[in-house]
Homo-oligomer: A and B are copies of this chain.
């Protein structure tokens, strides 16, 4: 069948997991381990080979505490009380009954007494970007984005007992549903047609008669995980005896080969027109008399010659495809989408935020940054910075100054001076190894120091082991 169900043994709590992860020096390794924990006991390799983008899978754990610490309704309540949660922006109030899906957002701030009033009256609550309010969610997503190399987002859903909040539909993302509290009854359905396999955009709401072949009908309990690929229709409702809280972790929105081709193809054509005169030759002077919809039923040998020529030229575009440049384009988009890294106190201490410069006893103290030849430096995360081509110059994109709120900050990057390019590439490829400032391949000591200082001031540190761009 298309779905799998596995039983799992108890594992370490999220707290322990994150503490242990913090000891791993390599952020990509850390991402791999966290994802392993998320889908435990399925080995990631097997998951990506057999399940990813193919079929739903359910992991039943019999361990209500497995995901404890990730999020809770208590934290939901705390956030409503302390943070500036706005209806429609950060929180949606919804209902689905008698086949009718409604949104009930009033304007303004979502204060607890209003939100809980909706909840008591049977409405579902969807928090749209819990990572902006919960540091743990932020931490988990920011780690996982190095696993997927595609933006990782999340929504939290709180549903009262005996209700359903949403109509059946499919999404445009790979979805990992983590059940946090209570339980929920889920039904998942196959894509309805080949064209809806791995779709590019989400569906509208469906009626019950439009949703096709059911492949899963299960109850998700706290500690369980449900994964399904984009295109699988789904709906869920709470049983009469318990509410439900789950978080959906999502990724791979618009991250397909076709999305890459949208970066590749226009540039390939531009380059072909520059480099190959065949693309610049004039069309036949009479082509409008036999081509075009108006002439599509004509039997004219010139039609097939014309068509063959167009197809041949399209195929020849492959030879002009600027693949690395297009990947850079995708990478830039991804880095704009990224959450910034959540730094540990130790990381902060060894980065620019830990510089001791301060006001004390009526004067400034420790205002100098000490960077010497033997100072060792390292990127603070593998994915925190990337060298890309920016037309004529080389540009370093980075995520350290991104906001927890999606696209609240503009994309961050700076031009790299020629004399620093090699050293930066060296530093990036050395990750996760620390390298000494003196070993940077720059042609002068001053350039080595100036690069190190520059990177540090964008987010680095100054003991004898420093992390840069954090």
Contact = CB atoms under 8 A, between A and B. Distances in A.
Contact of A318 (B115, B148, B195, B314): B314
Contact of A315 (B243, B315, B359): B315
A199 interface: yes
A358 B112 contact: yes
A266 B262 CA distance: 8
B291 A327 contact: yes
Interface string A111-140: 111111101100000000000000000000
Contact of A327 (B181, B286, B292): B292
Nearest to A75: B359
A261 interface: yes
A281 B306 contact: no
A291 B323 contact: yes
A287 B328 CA distance: 11
B265 A317 contact: yes
B149 A113 contact: no
Contacts of A16: none
A324 interface: yes
Contact of A287 (B181, B294, B327): B327
A73 interface: yes
A109 interface: yes
Contacts of A73: 359, 362
A73 B359 CA distance: 7
A43 interface: no
* A interface majority secondary structure: helix
Given A262-B269, A288-B149, A293-B328, A358 B77 contact: yes
A182 B361 CA distance: 12
A107 B361 CA distance: 29
Interface residues of A, number: 112
Interface string A279-291: 1111101111101
Interface stretch (A4-12, A205-213, A382-390, A444-452): A382-390
A313 B287 CA distance: 28
Given A280-B197, A293-B387, A313-B257, A76 B269 contact: no
Contacts of A53: 281-282
A280 to B, nearest CB: 4
Contacts of A18: none
A292 B328 contact: yes
A31 to B, nearest CB: 10
Given A112-B357, A369-B113, A387 B294 contact: yes
Given A261-B269, A314-B264, A352-B111, A256 B283 contact: yes
Interface stretch (A93-101, A163-171, A270-278): A270-278
Contact of A266 (B108, B115, B265): B265
B357 A113 contact: yes
B265 A195 contact: no
6 contacts: A116-B364, A252-B282, A288-B330, A292-B324, A292-B386, A314-B318
Q: Give 5 nearest A-B pairs by CB, closest first.
A: A258-B279, A113-B357, A77-B359, A113-B355, A311-B318
Given A261-B269, A292-B324, 11 more contacts: A28-B289, A48-B285, A112-B358, A120-B364, A148-B285, A256-B281, A257-B281, A257-B309, A287-B327, A288-B327, A294-B387
